[in-house]
């Protein structure tokens, strides 16, 4: 599904983010930025050692922040690493921190001339964020940023399974 907001196309697709032919993909990383499971592990494996080499120089990343590295062997030129919140109960600042991940990733993208970007479902794996809530936050935040900033032509949400894809598709349809 896709929807146009100003000059930007937002879309949801079922797929593997490591195969995306975009300027940058976003990595749902841990604070060390040194690799892990899920999307993070897949990106490090597919991108090769150049990503880890650059990550070692970044001294980690705080929750809600975002940092850029090469894409290594990935089709994407860059990886924007962001650290999502671990979900407790939604009453410990998690919604704001999750929104900040999407906002900061887009800010880093704009600072580096990125026109096309792909996001995973940040914090929806082992960090336990309820997918429907995370999808609403992701879409609302991305829509706010692209409406107030020119430069991003396409934002693609690349979801790895139907149970994650459907809530993101529903959230996009509501925009």
Positions annotated as catalytic residues are: 40
Angle at 142 between CA 136 and CA 145, to 5 degrees: 140
Burial zone of 148 (CB within 10 Å; 0-12 exposed, 13-18 middle, 19+ buried): exposed
Distance (Å, rounded) from C-alpha 83 to C-alpha 169?
A: 23
In 20-112, which ranges are continuous DSSP H helix? 38-47, 49-56, 94-111
Please give the Cα distance from 97 to 85 (Å, whole number).
6
């Amino acid at each position: 599904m896709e929807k146009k907001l100003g000059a930007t196309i937002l879309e949801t697709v079922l797929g593997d983010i490591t195969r995306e032919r975009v300027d940058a993909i976003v990595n749902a990383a841990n604070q060390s930025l040194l690799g892990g499971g899920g999307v993070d592990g897949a990106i490090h494996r597919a991108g090769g050692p150049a990503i880890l080499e650059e990550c070692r120089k970044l001294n980690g990343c705080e929750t809600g922040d975002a940092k850029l590295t090469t894409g290594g062997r990935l089709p994407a030129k860059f990886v924007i690493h962001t650290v999502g919140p671990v979900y407790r109960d939604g009453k410990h600042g998690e919604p704001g921190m999750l929104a900040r991940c999407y906002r900061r990733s887009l800010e880093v993208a704009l600072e580096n001339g990125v026109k096309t970007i792909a996001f995973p479902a940040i914090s929806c794996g082992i960090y336990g964020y309820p997918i429907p809530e995370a999808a609403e936050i992701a879409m609302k935040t991305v829509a706010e940023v692209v409406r107030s900033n020119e430069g991003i032509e396409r934002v693609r949400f690349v979801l790895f399974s139907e149970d994650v894809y459907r809530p993101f598709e529903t959230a996009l349809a509501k925009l």
